[in-house]
Structure 1
C-alpha cells in the first residue's frame, strides 16, 4: 500500500485523490516534493512573510504545503476545488477555494510555485502572464515529472524568464528557479488560435489549454451530422448541454441547426469555458447560453433534452475511460426521460459497453476506423428518431 503522507518543511500532510480506487496512485509526486523543498529554501532567505501564488496544483499538495503563508491558489482545472476542500478538512486546515482563469488574481506576488504543463503553448501563455504579476525581485519555482515536460520547455523558460538555477533531477522530476522576464501576453499572437466551421463567417477560437484549438478534431467532425439530425426533432423550448465543451464547437453546431435552443456549456478547464463564452459571444451573440466551470455536469442545472459529449480520455498522466464513465453516470442523472445523449469516442475504448451500464437504449449512429458515434437514451424514442 502506498503511503498517503507527504512530509514537508512545515507540516506532514495526509492527502488523497478524490474518486481514486487505485491504491498505487498518490495525491502528489516527486515534482511536488521538489517544488515544496525549493520553495522552503527560498522562503528562508526572505525578510518577511512572502505572498505566494500556486499555479495548477493537482490535489492540494502545493497549496496546503505552503498554506501558512499568504498563499493564493489558481488552477485551470475545476477538479482541484474538490480535492483541496477534502484534503484541507482531512488535515484540519483552512484553504480558500482555488481561483481560475475566469477571475485571476492581481499581483504582485513574491513567489510563483507552478506545475509545468504538458502543452507548450499553455506554458508560454503561463510564463507571459506570470511576468505581469510577479514582483520585480520575485522568483518563479517551476517543476514537473521529466517524462511529462513538453519538448522545448527549457527553451521557453530561457526565452521568457531569467533562469537562475536548474536543480538536479531527482526521482525523475525536475525543478527550475527563475526571475522575472519582460515578455507579456500583450500582442502575443499565440494567445488565440482557431479554425472556421460551416455556417459561421468567423473562426472558432481557443486559448492555449483548450483541446484541439487549431483544427476541428476528427471525433467532433464525425459527430456533427448526428447533432444536425437530433436538432430537427428537439422541442421548441429545448435545453441542451455541451458537456466537456472545449471551445464550444459542438454547442455552436447545435445552435447553427437550432438557433432557439438554450445551451449550457460546461468544462473542467477554465480556459475552455472562457473560450466557449468568447466564441458564442462572437458567433452566436443572440443565443441563450450559460457557461459553467465544473468537473462534470454543473450542480443544480436540471434536466436536458440533449447532451453532447466528446469525453477526454486522459487526466494528468492517467489514461483510460475513468473520466468518461463518471460523465456517463452524471449525464444519465441529468437527461430528461425522453432525452438523448450523443457521444463520440475512440473505438478501442468500447463505450457501447460502458454506456449500457447507465442507459437501456444504446445505438451506434456512425463510425470510422478510429471513432464511433453513439446515441444513448433512457427509453426507446419510437420510429423516426435516432
Structure 2
C-alpha cells in the first residue's frame, strides 16, 4: 500500500511528496520528529528564522521560515516542489558549506544522521544565533544517540529534554551570552592508492577512512582502458575520480554529488593534488543537469534514503548513466553483492559483465546502448 501523501494536523493540511516522486511510494514525506517540531515551533507563535535539515520540505511548508540550511540538493528540490504545490512562498536555501544568518525567532533543527555534522551545525549556530534565541531540535527515537542532549549542551549549555511522543523527542536550548566554541576539525585520512592525505567534511560519506567498496573498485581500475571524459558519480571526497586521474585513465574529470560538502571536499582534494589543472564539479541531482556525455562513469552508489535502506537512489543513478554515456561509453559500478542490479543493467545497457567480485562486493561493467 502506498504511503499517505496528505499531512493533516491541527495547524493545517498539506499535500507532501518525496523527491523524486515514484509510483506506489512506500515512505511518507514527513515523520514523527517533523510533527513534534511543527507543534513546538507553532506554539511559540513566531515563524522560525531558520529550518535546518528539512528532509522533504514538510517543515518549510508548515512553518514558512526565512531560510533553509541544508547539505542536500535532493532535499532542496523536494522542499521547492512541495512549497510550490501548496502555494507557499519560496524559502531561501543556504548550503551547508556556508554559515546561515539568523534573526530573532527560533531555529528548528532535525538531528542529522552524522554526529560530526551535528556538532558542526551546533557550533555554527551558536556563532550566528542572537543571544536569547531558542534552538528546537528533534529526531526519531531509533535514530537519536544517547548522547544527543550532551552534544547540544556542549555548545549551548543547559538543554531541556522534553517528553517523547510519536516515537520521537524534542530538545530545546537558549543561546546564552558567551564565547563561541570551535567545531571539531574536519576529518581526513591517508589514502594509500594516492599516497596522500585526503580531507573531507563532516557530512561526507566515509570522510575519515577509505570506503571498502571504493577501495575494491580502485584496485581494479588498472583493468580499464583510458577514456577522455570521466565522471565520478556520487563522488564523496572524490577518491575514484582522483585515482582515475592518477592512473592516466582520464583526460577530463567531472565530479557529481547531491551533498554540497561532498562536492566541496572533492574540489579541495583535486586542488591539493592537481593545482592549476581543471576539473568540473556539479552539486545536484546526479547527472541530470549535466550536458556532457561521458566515455567512462565510475560509481559507488548509495543504497540508503536517509536512514532507510533503499536501492532506489542507485537504480535512479543508473538510469541517468544510460542517458549520459557517450557512444561506446562504459559504466563501472561497485555494489554490495546482495543488491539486484543485474536485471536493470541487462535491460538498459549492452555487454553487462562482472569485472571483479569478492565476498562482499561485485564490480559491474556495462556498455552504452547508443
For normalisation by structure 2, the TM-score amounts to: 0.92
- Tell me which residue corresponds to 1:126: 121
- Tell me which residue corresponds to 2:160: 165
- Tell me which residue corresponds to 1:93: 88
**1:219 pairs with 2:232:** no
Q: Is the 8 A contact 1:262 1:287 kept in 2?
A: no
Offset at residue 268 of structure 1 (A): 1.0
Q: How far apart in 2 are the matches of 1:9 and 1:203?
A: 52
Q: How far apart in 1 are the matches of 2:14 and 2:215?
A: 45
Q: Is the 8 A contact 1:219 1:344 kept in 2?
A: yes
Q: Which residue, 32, 35, 39 being the options, matches 2:34?
A: 32
Query: Could you say if the C-alpha distance between residues 285 and 360 of structure 1 is closer, same or farther in structure 2, counting changes exceeding 3 Å?
Result: same
**1:141 pairs with 2:154:** no
- Tell me which residue corresponds to 1:359: 349
**1:66 pairs with 2:67:** no
- Tell me which residue corresponds to 1:233: 226
For normalisation by structure 1, the TM-score amounts to: 0.88
Offset at residue 161 of structure 1 (A): 1.7
Q: How far apart in 2 are the matches of 1:222 and 1:184?
A: 42
Q: How far apart in 1 are the matches of 2:299 and 2:290?
A: 19
Q: How far apart in 1 are the matches of 2:18 and 2:184?
A: 37
Q: Which residue, 348, 360, 367 being the options, matches 1:370?
A: 360
* Other structure's SS at 1:203 match: strand
Q: How far apart in 1 are the matches of 2:250 and 2:230?
A: 11
Range with greater deviation from structure 2 (163-172 or 309-318): 163-172
Offset at residue 297 of structure 1 (A): 1.1
**1:57 pairs with 2:31:** no
Q: How far apart in 2 are the matches of 1:197 and 1:299?
A: 33
Q: Cα deviation per residue 1:223-275 (whole Å; 9 max; x = unaligned)?
A: 01332332x532xxx11111000010001101111286211111111111111
Q: Is the 8 A contact 2:52 2:108 kept in 1?
A: yes
**1:331 pairs with 2:321:** yes
* Other structure's SS at 2:119 match: helix
Q: Is the 8 A contact 1:8 1:37 kept in 2?
A: no
Query: Could you say if the C-alpha distance between residues 296 and 255 of structure 1 is closer, same or farther in structure 2, counting changes exceeding 3 Å?
Result: same
Q: How far apart in 2 are the matches of 1:111 and 1:136?
A: 11
- Tell me which residue corresponds to 1:308: 298
Q: Is the 8 A contact 1:260 1:287 kept in 2?
A: no
Q: How far apart in 2 are the matches of 1:260 and 1:364?
A: 22
**Any unmatched runs of 5+ in structure 2?**
none
